[in-house]
Structure 1
Amino acid sequence: MRTLLATMKALSDESRLRALGLLRERELCLCQIVEVLGLATSTVSKHMSVLQQARLVESRKEGRWAYFRLADDEAPTEALGALELALASLDRDKQAKADRRALKAVLKMSAEELCRKQANCKC
């Protein structure tokens, strides 16, 4: 039951759902997610922590950069099923489509550029 509750909590926030949609096709640096969502770095970091605790995403550090990707097949069944449902729902969502367009522009910038652009970047 604990896994299911963590998964439902993680999916109950629009920003976290948007972040999952961004990670659909590739691993992203925290600053790339911050740029698309338009939220403070600390806020996005907290959202990513909630998603990670629910085992919906995984992370890795590379130097000062934090990277996130969707969970792999070793995640709990509840998390994988909920992730599949969430991503399918995002296919039809206007905000998720706008986020994908914004991500294309963000991916043209280096992580260093994004970090310089963002005040209080912790990457």
Structure 2
Amino acid sequence: MLETFETVAKALADPTRIRILKLLERGELCVCQITAVLGLAPATASKHLAALKVAGLLQQRRDGKWVYYRWAERALNPYAQAFLGLVGESLKTDPTVTEDARVLAQISAVALSSLCARGRDAMPTTDTETMP
């Protein structure tokens, strides 16, 4: 049991992983969406996502060439379930989490094929570019 707790605690000891969990709080996202919001290299994002999955905090599914992650529906252990509850209730007004949510809203308007091919470069750079 101690090893299980340690695995979950270590997975949550990195601020980037907390940010990923907060992004996924509302539903699943493609890896390219996560990398675009956080400004991470795909390999770095994959490392963080793998640690969260091993800890039982995330589930993944593949759809063609895209891989999606979401919170684990049934946590593999009681610690993962407890920590997901804590993450869900925490940091609601944190400036970084708020900014991530704002960027995610912009990214969600971009087609996945474009986003995965170009990352943040696929996003409009000014508010006027989003106008018809």
Task: Give the TM-score normalised by structure 2.
Answer: 0.85
Whichever of the two has the greater Rg, that structure is 2
AA at the equivalent of 1:84: G
Identity of aligned residues (%): 38
AA at the equivalent of 1:86: V
- Report how many residues are paired: 119
Q: Does the 8 A contact of 2:24 with 2:71 survive in 1?
A: yes
CA shift, 1:92, in A, is 2.7
In the alignment, what sits opposite 1:20?
21
Matches within 5 A, 1:57-68: 57-68=58-69
- Deviating 4+ runs (over 2 angstroms): none
In the alignment, what sits opposite 2:103?
102
Change (3 A) 1:51 1:41: same
In the alignment, what sits opposite 2:9?
8
Task: Give the TM-score normalised by structure 1.
Answer: 0.91
In the alignment, what sits opposite 1:83?
84
RMSD (Å) for aligned C-alpha atoms: 1.3
Tell me which of the two structures has the higher relative contact order, counting C-alpha pairs closer than 8 angstroms and 6 or more residues apart. 1
Contiguous gaps of at least 5 residues in structure 2: 121-132
User: What is the distance in 2 between the residues matched to 1:14 and 1:106?
Assistant: 21
Contiguous gaps of at least 5 residues in structure 1: none
